[in-house]
Amino acid sequence: MEGLLDFVLRDVLTRVGGVDHCVSEFIRVTHMLLPEHVFLRIVPELATGGCTPAGVPVRAQLLGSDPVCMAENAARLAGMGPHGIDLNFGCPAKVVNRHGGGAALLEDPELLTRIVAAVRRAVPPSMPVSAKMRLGFNNDARAVECAQAIASGGADELVVHARTKADAYRPPAYWERVNDIRLGVSIPVIANGEIWTVDDAQRCRDASGCNSLMLGRGMVTDPGLALAIRRADGQNVAPDVLWEDLLPLIGAFWLLVVDRLELRQQAGRLKQWLNFLRRHYPQAEVAYGALRTLHDPVAVTQWMVEQRALAPGYTRYHEPLPQTGSQP
């Protein structure tokens, strides 16, 4: 989820718990072998054993359409220690699709096989190679064929976003079509799309036949969603994440944003997350309204102190770290 679920939000959300592993934002591969610093900028967890600070493994995601170039970049990336390589066959962005990447590849199943096979050969046999696809580009007529192409290339696991590119993010998600895919391949299939609540998760499981789920915007909106799903499964996990529990995490998120992102991005990133949170937390609506017109990080920090998201008396303000550069 480019521009949203970056390493900063991965850090904070995985502190809550309930997540088995994460997938990074996509790393765009075009015509060249990318230097290691590009991988590190998007997946800084590579410098710390491939895990978030909370210890959750991260798979690095590649997006591209040239099998040889994808393989070369996957090999270099694998040498940096991610907990797997993920391939993006689902991005609906026009600029990506116009250049033959993301969901556009679902129009060419044979190319899907070649990309997956090239990457599979390029990385160690013990390193998982997974893929994420949508149901199709303009329609879902070739959904099972595309999934079989990905599986035949050697993918170890497949995540299916239960909409086509043409559907974008409009409800509903067609979870029953994920079941068709699950029955058509021999590799594990994970369902994704329109999972906002525990009830959504159960209905998705019932319709798709998949026990494993990938959470995206639902967990950004409700950071306790993964835990809540596990609790509904009968697991002994932490209780619901209340607003009072979330405030220190919002404060931690803000400090990471200030430390790691450029000044022009900082207030906007906080408002972006609050905009999602207000779908689940009424208090986030109030917070969003209070911060909506603030752009000065010092003023935002003061608001954080007043709301007890930061310790009383906290006044320190950091300029962004120069070695990090801009947000990927």
The active-site residue, picked from 22, 51, 69, 91, is: 91
Catalytic-residue membership of 69: no
List beta partners, residue 63.
28
Q: Which residues carry out catalysis? A: 91
